Structure 1
Amino acid sequence: MARTIGSQGPKTMEAIRKAGLRLIFEHGYAAMSLRQLAAEVGIQSGSLYNHISTKQELLFVLVRDHINELLRQLDRALDGKQRPADKLRAFVAFHVSYHMTRKREVFIANSELRSLEPKNYEEIVALRGAYEQRLAEILGQGVAEGEFEVVDIQVATFAILALLTGLTTWYRPGGRLTKEAIVAAHEKLVLSGVTPGAKPDQARVLRTPSPDVRARGGPERR
């Protein structure tokens, strides 16, 4: 690969980040080498040290920036929302939409957490905790105002996040449902799960279309 133009500047750092993200996603943090990364970017191995000091630093920066962006965009999505139900709906819509397009970042942030050194691990866990706290506060407000019925805020927070993030394991563009339909389905699941007196039979069922009808979005069958 030809040497990257402007290898001392932001352009190369961005190329390193993108290549690192792809290589860690495809091969795992432990298996990826800096020599492999340099070859992918198109620079000499020694030139990497003009941008990152270690492979650990690269992993930390990728995960940290991902969660910071997650927090920034979430706060923007929640801005102006007052009622707990509106906040929760906005949280779900944002989380699902964001995770549809950030599969690599999400996978690395979850699967490679164990690869972080103690100091970096603690910082990332604190950032993740800040994101979880946003949801916990929404649920807590809903309970306090009588809009939600939740047995345990922490358990509900972790359960909802697991449900919403789970779509990264099955979502593929071009499947049966549109993105909007997938978001709506998750909103229904979460809101009905915390709304007092909600009955499962009240939920609208999305029926599978006949084979000759092509829709978009949804699980990829294998």
Structure 2
Amino acid sequence: MGITSETQQKPSRTGRQRAATGRTDLQRERVLQVAAQLFADQGYANTTMAQIVRALGVTKPFVYYYFRDKQEIFETLSWRPAVECLTVMDFAPDDDRRAVDKVRDGIERLIRATIAHHPCAFFPYREPQVYRPEYQAASLKLAHHFYDRLCPLLEEARRDGDLDFDDTMITALAACSLPGFLYTWYQPGGRLSSDQMVAALAKLAWRVLGLREAPARSPTA
């Protein structure tokens, strides 16, 4: 079963905007893009609404039309990658692939989404103290949603003989922490491309999960 809209919904806290249009969506995205770069470069505490306004070349009412304050901007930037990353195990009910194939698919998509949402995916790791209790509660609910789907798949794959590990939750947390800790060192445009980074981290995750590769077939005569 897929994630419900209730689970996916960020606690509402918005500026004066009442109805979205194509133009207002574009302007809202413009605010988010500029703010994301400032937060990434300077941190939350050192970034002010005045700096965001100045970088955009607009007036303060323009920004406050879309967002109540800089905390709402920061939470909006953080929520998008959270939803994308933590719904990667939401497979369709008629998906009849083996559990191990779903695990591999989901973990790879988790890593890819984390990298794709740089730098915003790393804001919760860098500055967890910024978020409101309501936001933290919603994030925790989303994380539970993710692990409630991943852990049964891990256990099924272990029963199938495809994975070899001991404690399910510890293994799940260890494997999924790999993309999370990218925030301490990852920068786009580095030595490895995003595809190479996904492949490298996925390989490490398979080791944590105790993936048992199928034996190679003997060549036919």
TM-score by length of 2: 0.72
CA distance 1:64–1:159, shift in 2 (3 Å): same
Give, in angstroms, the shift of residue 196 of structure 1: 7.1
Question: Of 134, 157, 161, which aligns to 1:119?
Answer: 134
The equivalent residue for 2:10 is none
The equivalent residue for 1:16 is 31
CA distance 1:64–1:86, shift in 2 (3 Å): same
12-21 or 55-64: bigger deviation = 55-64
1:48-89 CA distances to partner (integer Å, 9 max, x unpaired)?
Answer: 221111222212222122212334566479984621221122
Note if contact 2:34-2:55 (Cα within 8 Å) is conserved in structure 1.
Answer: yes
The equivalent residue for 1:48 is 63
Determine whether 1:173 maps to 2:189. yes
Give, in angstroms, the shift of residue 181 of structure 1: 4.2
Distance 1:56 1:182 in 2: 31
Note if contact 1:142-1:148 (Cα within 8 Å) is conserved in structure 2.
Answer: yes
CA distance 1:69–1:191, shift in 2 (3 Å): closer
Note if contact 1:97-1:179 (Cα within 8 Å) is conserved in structure 2.
Answer: yes
Give the count of matched residue pairs: 192
Distance 1:34 1:172 in 2: 26
Note if contact 1:136-1:157 (Cα within 8 Å) is conserved in structure 2.
Answer: yes
Distance 2:115 2:91 in 1: 18
Which ranges in structure 2 are unaligned for 5 or more consecutive residues? 1-20, 216-221
Give, in angstroms, the shift of residue 156 of structure 1: 0.8
Give, in angstroms, the shift of residue 29 of structure 1: 1.2
The aligned amino acid for 2:181 is G
What's the C-alpha RMSD, in Å, of the aligned pairs?
3.1
The equivalent residue for 1:25 is 40
Give, in angstroms, the shift of residue 42 of structure 1: 1.9
RCO greater where, 1 or 2, for CA within 8 Å and sep 6 or more?
2
Note if contact 2:85-2:109 (Cα within 8 Å) is conserved in structure 1.
Answer: no
The equivalent residue for 2:151 is 136
Which ranges in structure 1 are unaligned for 5 or more consecutive residues? 1-5, 203-222
Distance 1:79 1:187 in 2: 25
Distance 1:43 1:127 in 2: 35
The aligned amino acid for 1:117 is R
Note if contact 1:78-1:91 (Cα within 8 Å) is conserved in structure 2.
Answer: no
The equivalent residue for 1:154 is 169
TM-score by length of 1: 0.72
